[in-house]
Amino acid sequence: MTNPLYDALFGKHAERDTPFLQMTDGTVITHAAFLRLAAQYAHALVQMGVAPGDRVAVQIAKTPQALAVYAACVQAGMVFLPLNTAYTAKEIAYFVQDSGARVVLCDAAAAQALEPVAHANGAQLETLDADGGGSFARRARDLPQVFETQARGIDDLAAFLYTSGTTGRSKGAMLSQGNLLSNGETLAQEWRFTAEDRLIHALPIFHTHGLFVATNVSLLAGGVILFLPKFDLDAILGLMPQATAMMGVPTYYTRLLDDARFTRELAGHMRLFVSGSAPLLAETHVRFEDRTGHRILERYGMTETNMSTSNPYDGARRAGTVGRPLPGVELKITHAETGATLPQGEIGQIEVRGANVFQGYWQMPEKTAQELRPDGFFITGDLGQIDADGYVTIVGRNKDLIISGGLNIYPKEIELILDEHNGVLESAVIGVPHPDFGESVVGVLVASGQEALDLEGIMRDLSGSLAGFKQPKKLVVLPELPRNTMGKVQKNALRAQFAGLFDGG
């Protein structure tokens, strides 16, 4: 038995002393050098007692070393669990406990806060800093630079990504080698990636878009990744003349358009701009095409399914749609209550099936059964419709998920914290349109008495409990929350009421 994912992404490059990562300072890391480091990391994990199938939780900065941990886990058959670098220790504690992670890798600055978390859950804590130092790096430094690849099959798990539901309890989406490999191969082919491509990579690598789309597609094609630690407008503008492709969230493209240096001439060497993780406004489509002559390619996916649809590389890229189902992916629109397939053009819940669809939720068989049908169709929770040409349009969500700047935010988690504050009777958290982030978080509060709520104090308290991207951008107070006859809060009414809150940014 081979290791399909490692062989396709990494192994085939083992003898290539050709560029893989180019850093913002011009430093180049070759495929061969990268894989030697990954082999040392794999040996270090094995020495720590991590076995195939064990989870390795990682909350570290976006660096070549972080990618090498991913490669090491794939090569050694371990399950890679990347975590948002903005998560607090309280949030990390749940992921470590739920996943049963054997190792937690973090930045040295977070070690003091995370040591009790690791200890309480029987995990080993090691550090890996942004400069490549730390206890894990020291452990690996003198180990062999060749590692015997662990045999794995396409159904073996390669990664966990945690998502959530409106219940507030995060769910570990189990992604197999086959899930990641099939989707990467499809996207590389559909988007025409080759070894000649140079991809601007400013996305984080703790979720699907940056790791399993941008990185995997580049690895499969054998191209060069222009590797930015984070979104940096000046750096991207400087790299664009030598790049051929860019993947980003809508925020990236609005920031580019707001800069006069971003011109048709600057983008003249580019062949492809891809947007995802949040809806791209039609206005942004038009402005971008007018400015550059390029039409952004928008696609649709989620943690549990990787990518499911894409506007075509050759053909009409229609603003407001996410294109057609990818090859090998079946997509249908169904009635939310009966599950019956709806006629073309009608709005209903989106369900998808294919090799891209995950294996289920870790240790949540009941939740898996609710959302993953016996015939393999996954109920996405999104509402959409398919037009006569097969293009899919997302019209809303039947869950309360908020997507801000490409990151998923789940209202119930925030509401539970808001409701604990003195003077707060109840709360409702909604996402409202934002010209930069797609959506921003708004907390709607009802006071329990006549005394005015200390909104500034509540915001300060939230900063210690929630990652920054989850914290409400605004808190507003209402005398009561709108409800239907069954007593359910009507969040659609709240979204309509506050839809213009961020007009003008």
What residue type is 273 in one-letter code? F
Q: Which of the residue ranges 99-108, 316-325, 445-454 would you say has the lowest mean pLDDT?
A: 445-454
CATH-assigned architecture of domain 402-497? 2-Layer Sandwich (3.30)
Residue 231 has what pLDDT? 94
Sheet holding 474-477, edge to edge: 424-434, 438-447, 474-477
Residue 486 has what pLDDT? 43
User: Helix or strand or coil: residue 145?
Assistant: coil
Q: Please state which CATH number belongs to domain 4-14+29-153.
A: 3.40.50.980
Neighbours of 376 (CB within 10 A): 13
Give φ, ψ of 48 to 5 degrees. Answer: -80, 0
Residue 397 has what pLDDT? 67
Residue 485 has what pLDDT? 45
> Taking 80 as the threshold, does the pLDDT of residue 398 lie above it?
no
Cβ-count burial 468-479 (b if 16+ within 10 Å, e if not): ebbbbbebeeee
Query: What is the three-state SS of 210-267?
Result: HHHHHHHHHHHHCCEEEECCCCCHHHHHHHHHHCCEEEECHHHHHHHHCCCCCCCCHH
Find out whether 232 and 202 touch, Cβ atoms under 8 Å. yes
Integer Cα distance of 38 and 214 in angstroms? 19
> Taking 90 as the threshold, does the pLDDT of residue 474 lie above it?
yes
Integer Cα distance of 273 and 262 in angstroms? 14
> Taking 60 as the threshold, does the pLDDT of residue 253 lie above it?
yes
Residue 351 has what pLDDT? 97
Integer Cα distance of 202 and 116 in angstroms? 32
Q: Which residues pair with 476 in a beta bridge?
A: 444
CATH 3.40.50.12780 domain span(s) along the chain = 200-397
User: Of 220, 256, 260, 218, which is closest to residue 240 (Cα–Cα)?
Assistant: 256
The dihedral over CA atoms of 10, 81, 43, 139, expressed in degrees to the nearest 10, equals 120
Structure-token pair, residue 155: 């159904």
User: Of 385, 209, 386, which is closest to residue 305 (Cα–Cα)?
Assistant: 209
H-helix or E-strand spanning residue 175? strand 171-176
What residue type is 369 in one-letter code? A
Q: What is the pLDDT of residues 318-347, one digit of tens each?
A: 998 999 999 999 999 999 889 999 999 998
Find out whether 437 and 252 touch, Cβ atoms under 8 Å. no
Residue 300 has what pLDDT? 94
> Taking 70 as the threshold, does the pLDDT of residue 21 lie above it?
yes
Is the domain spanning 200-397 CATH 1.10.540.10? The answer is: no
Give φ, ψ of 206 to 5 degrees. Answer: -105, 10
Q: Which residues pair with 352 in a beta bridge?
A: 331, 378
Residue 262 has what pLDDT? 97
H-helix or E-strand spanning residue 299? strand 297-302
Mean per-residue pLDDT for 82-102?
94
Angle of the 111-120 helix axis to the 89-99 helix axis, nearest 10: 30
The dihedral over CA atoms of 142, 144, 145, 151, expressed in degrees to the nearest 10, equals -140
Q: Which single residue is written with the structure tokens 């409702």? A: 428
CATH 3.30.300.30 domain span(s) along the chain = 402-497
Neighbours of 112 (CB within 10 A): 9
CATH 3.40.50.980 domain span(s) along the chain = 4-14+29-153
> Taking 50 as the threshold, does the pLDDT of residue 165 lie above it?
no
Q: Which residues pair with 330 in a beta bridge?
A: 353
> pTM for the complete prediction?
0.84
Structure-token pair, residue 30: 């070759």
Strands 392-397 and 378-386: antiparallel
Q: What is the pLDDT of residues 203-218, one digit of tens each?
A: 999 989 999 999 999 9
Integer Cα distance of 430 and 411 in angstroms? 7
Mean per-residue pLDDT for 195-205?
97
What residue type is 451 in one-letter code? E
Q: What percent of the chain has pLDDT over 70?
A: 96
Q: How far is CA 224 from CA 31, 35, 193, 307, in A?
A: 10, 15, 11, 22
pLDDT band per the 50, 70, 90 thresholds, residue 310: very high
